[in-house]
């Protein structure tokens, strides 16, 4: 990560080569510590410092863009020269709106640096719990310090410094596995022993899984499974590009019912569970955007280009420009419900309990049809209790139809995702969830 003063120094150097031009510069600098463990030993252990800088030059309304990891003066000069050359092409993309106006937004978290020793000690705790349960420990601890700065020639001057830890644990023996995870801004708030206990409990319950036939079942989906479904809905439905092209279903349903009444989804970087950067990659302040409220389609997120095209407000959801795939909501929240998870489980006579999904892919974007597999803790529910483990299943669902069938929503929510994109998700009980086929374990 780079301190604000270091960023200012880089901008000062860059400005020497940017005279007379409109420009935008982004600097993302990340220090990552990664400790991976498998078979109860540390097998991959890393420390990486990666600064990354991009520039967007506007030269007579034509855009040239380029990126580098070389932040020496020569590297910066080369970066800018490349972008200027690209902007001179008669075919270079046109800037169809102006660069965002002056903003000065800062969010500086206290830097938390985690040493390899601290990660090793955390892994040792996990291994100890797994050993007690005669299970092997697998997983990862990523500790990240990251700074993001966006500047432009109109006076955008935004800087954020973030820390977070992402950890997963898979406890496993030959026939069964169980999963737990945590994403926290402060490494020290993670109870690694407790997380390991959760993974072990799931693995022990998963021994000797039974075969059940594919079909439609009531499901209890834990938060990671819900987050996975909603993240695919985001790619297909919540950005302005497919809305503008009228290919998303939401583009035809604004103001109309699109899911069950109990579903509310919005994007909100201020939610305390998200990692939350207050500005987007053009430097525009992020706004809270309601996407679905009480089952009614409400809107999508925009960036400066699509806001102009759609004559909508710029909501501050640009990705790194040029972004031909359009804007994207990075901080999704599925509104919590009023049920305890125990109550939800008790309500199911017969059904399937899903810990998480794996390798989910879009089968048909027209129908929001997706498929994927269950993984690391799938059980059959009988009379409101987990009765026995079952072999993993392939689901094939239409997301909107699935969100018509949500019967219960938990009070508790968890943040699940990757890097800066995640979903704050509750657990759900859903009826008529379609499992298309099964596997052998």
Partner 1 sequence: MAKELVNLVLDYLKTLNVSYGDVRLVRIQEEVIRQENGKVNLIRQEEDLGIGIRVIKDGAWGFAATALLTKEEVMKTAKLACQIAESSAKLKKEDVRLSEITPVKDTYQTPIEIDPFSVSLEEKINLLMECDEIMKKVKGLRKREGELYFYKKYQIFASTEDSFIEQTIYHTGGYILAEAVKGTVTGSRSYPGMIGGHYKAKGYEFIKELKLKENCERVAEEAVALTKARECPNMETDIILDGTMVAIQVHETVGHPTELDRVLGTEVSLAGTSHLTIDKLNKFQFASEIVSITADATIPGGLGTFGYDDEGVKAQKVFLIKDGIFCGYLTSRETAVVLNQTSNGTMRADSWKSIPLIRMTNINLLPGTWELEDLFADTKEGVYFESAGSPSIDDKRLNYHISSEIGWIIKNGKKTEMIRRPSFSAISYELWRKCDAICNEKYWEVWGVPNCGKGDPTQVMHVGHGASPARFRKVKIGG
Q: Is position 34 an interface residue for partner 1 (rule: CB under 8 A)?
A: yes
Inter-residue contact 136 to 172 (CB < 8 Å): yes
Give the interface segment with partner 1, choosing from 61-69, 182-190, 230-238, 279-287 (CB under 8 A). 61-69
- Binding to partner 1 in span 412-441, by CB under 8 A: 436-441
Give the interface segment with partner 1, choosing from 14-22, 116-124, 339-347, 408-416 (CB under 8 A). 116-124
Q: Is position 5 an interface residue for partner 1 (rule: CB under 8 A)?
A: no
Inter-residue contact 198 to 342 (CB < 8 Å): no
Query: Shortest gap between Cβ of 170 and partner 1 (angstroms)?
Result: 5
- Binding to partner 1 in span 224-263, by CB under 8 A: 245-247, 249
Q: Is position 113 an interface residue for partner 1 (rule: CB under 8 A)?
A: no
Looking at the Cβ atoms of 231 and 264, the one nearer to partner 1 is: 231
Rounded Cα distance between 368 and 377, Å, is 26
Task: Determine the size of the site formed for partner 1 (CB under 8 A).
Answer: 86
Looking at the Cβ atoms of 156 and 249, the one nearer to partner 1 is: 249
Query: Shortest gap between Cβ of 54 and partner 1 (angstroms)?
Result: 8
Find the binder of partner 1 among 105, 296, 362, 387 (CB under 8 A). 362
- Binding to partner 1 in span 139-158, by CB under 8 A: 139-140, 142
- Binding to partner 1 in span 322-361, by CB under 8 A: 322, 324, 358-361
Binding mask 190-229 for partner 1 (x = CB under 8 A): ----------------------------------------
Find the binder of partner 1 among 27, 119, 203, 414 (CB under 8 A). 119
Q: Is position 57 an interface residue for partner 1 (rule: CB under 8 A)?
A: no
- Binding to partner 1 in span 272-301, by CB under 8 A: none
Find the binder of partner 1 among 163, 168, 259, 355 (CB under 8 A). 168
Q: Is position 127 an interface residue for partner 1 (rule: CB under 8 A)?
A: yes
Looking at the Cβ atoms of 123 and 129, the one nearer to partner 1 is: 123
Q: Is position 399 an interface residue for partner 1 (rule: CB under 8 A)?
A: no
Looking at the Cβ atoms of 55 and 425, the one nearer to partner 1 is: 55
The dihedral region occupied by 208, where left means phi > 0, alpha psi between -120 and 50, and beta the remainder, is left
Looking at the Cβ atoms of 102 and 216, the one nearer to partner 1 is: 216
Find the binder of partner 1 among 73, 194, 349, 366 (CB under 8 A). 366
Binding mask 64-103 for partner 1 (x = CB under 8 A): xxxxxxxxx--x--xx--xx--x--x-xxxx---------
Q: Is position 183 an interface residue for partner 1 (rule: CB under 8 A)?
A: no
Inter-residue contact 415 to 336 (CB < 8 Å): no
Looking at the Cβ atoms of 18 and 348, the one nearer to partner 1 is: 18
Strands 265-267 and 215-221: unpaired
């Amino acid at each position: 990560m780079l301190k604000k003063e270091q960023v200012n120094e880089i901008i000062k150097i860059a400005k020497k080569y940017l005279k007379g031009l409109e420009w935008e510069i982004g600097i993302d600098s990340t220090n990552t510590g990664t400790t991976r463990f498998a078979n109860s030993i540390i097998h991959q252990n890393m420390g990486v410092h990666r600064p990354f800088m991009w520039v967007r030059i506007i030269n007579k309304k034509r855009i040239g863009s380029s990126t580098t990891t070389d932040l020496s003066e020569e590297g910066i000069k080369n970066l800018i020269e490349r972008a200027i050359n690209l902007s001179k092409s008669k075919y270079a993309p046109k800037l169809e709106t102006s660069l965002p106006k002056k903003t000065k937004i800062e969010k500086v978290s206290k830097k938390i640096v985690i040493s390899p020793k601290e990660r090793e000690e955390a892994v040792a705790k996990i291994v100890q719990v797994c050993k007690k349960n005669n299970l092997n420990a697998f997983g990862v601890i990523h500790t990240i310090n990251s700074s993001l700065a966006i500047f432009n020639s109109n006076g955008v001057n935004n800087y954020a410094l973030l820390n977070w830890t992402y950890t997963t644990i898979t406890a496993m023996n030959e026939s069964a596995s169980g999963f737990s995870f945590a994403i926290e801004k402060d490494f020290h708030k993670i109870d690694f022993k407790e997380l390991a206990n959760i993974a072990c409990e799931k693995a022990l319950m998963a021994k000797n899984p039974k075969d059940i036939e594919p079909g439609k079942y009531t499901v209890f989906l834990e938060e990671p499974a819900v987050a996975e479904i909603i993240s695919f809905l985001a790619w297909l439905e919540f950005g302005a590009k497919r809305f503008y092209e009228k290919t998303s279903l939401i583009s035809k349903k604004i103001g109309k019912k699109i899911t069950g009444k109990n579903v509310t989804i919005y994007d909100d970087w201020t939610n305390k569970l998200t990692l939350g950067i207050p500005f987007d990659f053009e430097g525009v302040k992020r706004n809270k955007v309601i996407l679905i409220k009480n089952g009614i389609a409400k809107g999508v997120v925009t960036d400066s280009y699509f806001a102009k095209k759609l004559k909508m407000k710029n909501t501050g959801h640009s990705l790194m420009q040029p972004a031909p795939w359009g804007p994207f909501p990075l901080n999704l929240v599925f509104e919590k419900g009023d049920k305890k998870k125990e109550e939800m489980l008790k309500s199911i006579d017969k059904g399937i309990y899903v810990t998480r999904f794996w390798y989910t892919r879009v089968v048909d974007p027209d129908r929001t049809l997706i498929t994927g597999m269950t993984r690391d803790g799938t059980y059959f529910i009988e009379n409101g209790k987990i009765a026995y483990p079952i072999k993993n299943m392939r689901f094939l669902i239409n997301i909107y139809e699935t969100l018509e069938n949500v019967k219960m929503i938990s009070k508790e929510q968890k943040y699940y995702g990757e890097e800066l994109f995640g979903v704050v998700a509750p657990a759900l009980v859903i009826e008529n969830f379609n499992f298309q086929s099964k596997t052998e374990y």
